[in-house]
Structure 1
Amino acid sequence: MTLKNHLLENTETFIAKINEFTDSQFNIKPDSDSWSAANVLEHMYRSEFGIPRLFTGETRQLTDRQPDAYLPDMKKRFLESDAKMQASGVILPTEGEKTKESLIEKFHSNRNKIAKLIDELPQEELCLKFKHPVFGYLTRMEWTHFSIIHSQRHLKQLERIQSQIQ
């Protein structure tokens, strides 16, 4: 499967899980220290909305490592651990009620922009506009995989939320 197809399939899986929440369940938090499905979706969008600009910003050829070198660490940190992680800054969800359709549209539209750029730009180039807070500068390939891996982690979180509020 191509990276683009993997991203698009992951996007549809994530949206399908979000759509399992009714409109009345979408903003419900299992407890005061947890996120709602709305918070999770907004966090996913906020953590990825800059990727299209990152992909079209300054880059350079990678010379000191493989273009997918950080993938094992990403998978280990985000998929093989149930340890709670703390989001901060601009990727935190905002307060208040959210509309499911609007957030889905934003998330889906941004993922489609990323998918289009996968076809247009070399995936092996290092993006220099922004450092990932954990891994530093990443290639376009690694940023795309990060989006997929990050959403796989949050799919598990959505399943927990779903079981807790039903």
Structure 2
Amino acid sequence: MNKFVNDNLYETRNNLVKEIVLLSDDQLNSKPDMNMWSIAQVCHHLVLVEEASIKAIAWGLKESDRTQKERKNIHFILLDRTKKIKAPKIVEPDVESFEVPQIIDLLNDSRKKLMAFLSTIEDKSILEEKSVKHPSLGELPLDQWIEQIYLHEQRHIEQIIEIKLLLDVKH
């Protein structure tokens, strides 16, 4: 994995934790509107997406016939928040309440799993050669599956900032 992607995974996760670490459990679990997720649910969704991405990449590495050369402009797609993307059922968050340290532990655990998994891939160039269908983005090269993790997280950090404003949480 290249340094740029690694740095973005690290930096984005740090930015996410900074947004939530000082929240009370009430703020973490409050919904500004019944049709919106709480900040806890957004974070739980990010954990589920990261874990599902590991499974998808692992599956894609095992497949022999999934080759794809076409790369997508996933930065543009994921960072354009004017277009709502419905979360597939498999990555919908729990409705139960979470505590701040619990959410941070879940985020840390999923990131450790991702980094441990990626460290097992000896020939990283294979990530550009194989692809797996992404539920929202379509057929996606495996290296872009890794990129979509931090881009998706950046998208949701913006959502968390909006939720905090709606809840009138001070930065």
TM-score, normalised to structure 1's length? 0.83
Alignment deviations for residues 45-81 of structure 1 (CA, whole Å, 9 cap, x no partner): 1122122333333144875515xx11x1x22222134
Alignment deviations for residues 70-118 of structure 1 (CA, whole Å, 9 cap, x no partner): 1x1x222221342333223111112221222222212222122222333
1 CA distance for matches of 2:63 and 2:129? 6
Residue 142 (structure 2) aligned to one of 140, 143, 150: 140
Q: Does structure 1 conserve the Cα–Cα contact (< 8 Å) formed by 2:24 and 2:100?
A: no
Is there any run of 5+ residues in structure 1 with no aligned partner, and where?
Answer: none
Structure 1 pair 62–96 and aligned structure 2 pair: CA distance change class (3 A): closer
Name 2:128's counterpart in structure 1. 124
Cα offset, 1:150, TM superposition: 0.6
SS in structure 2 opposite 1:163?
Answer: helix
2 CA distance for matches of 1:160 and 1:146? 21
Alignment deviations for residues 2-25 of structure 1 (CA, whole Å, 9 cap, x no partner): 312221221111122121422221
Name 2:82's counterpart in structure 1. 82
2 CA distance for matches of 1:12 and 1:134? 25
Structure 1 pair 65–22 and aligned structure 2 pair: CA distance change class (3 A): same
Name 1:113's counterpart in structure 2. 113
1 CA distance for matches of 2:108 and 2:98? 16
Equivalenced residue count is 160
Q: Which structure has greater helix proportion?
A: 2
Alignment deviations for residues 101-143 of structure 1 (CA, whole Å, 9 cap, x no partner): 2222122221222223334422324244xx2112333233101
Structure 1 pair 10–59 and aligned structure 2 pair: CA distance change class (3 A): farther
Cα offset, 1:153, TM superposition: 0.7
Paired residue type of 1:154:
H
CA RMSD of aligned residues (A): 2.2
Is there any run of 5+ residues in structure 2 with no aligned partner, and where?
Answer: none
2 CA distance for matches of 1:104 and 1:79? 23
Give identity over the alignment, percent: 23
Q: Does structure 2 conserve the Cα–Cα contact (< 8 Å) formed by 1:54 and 1:127?
A: no
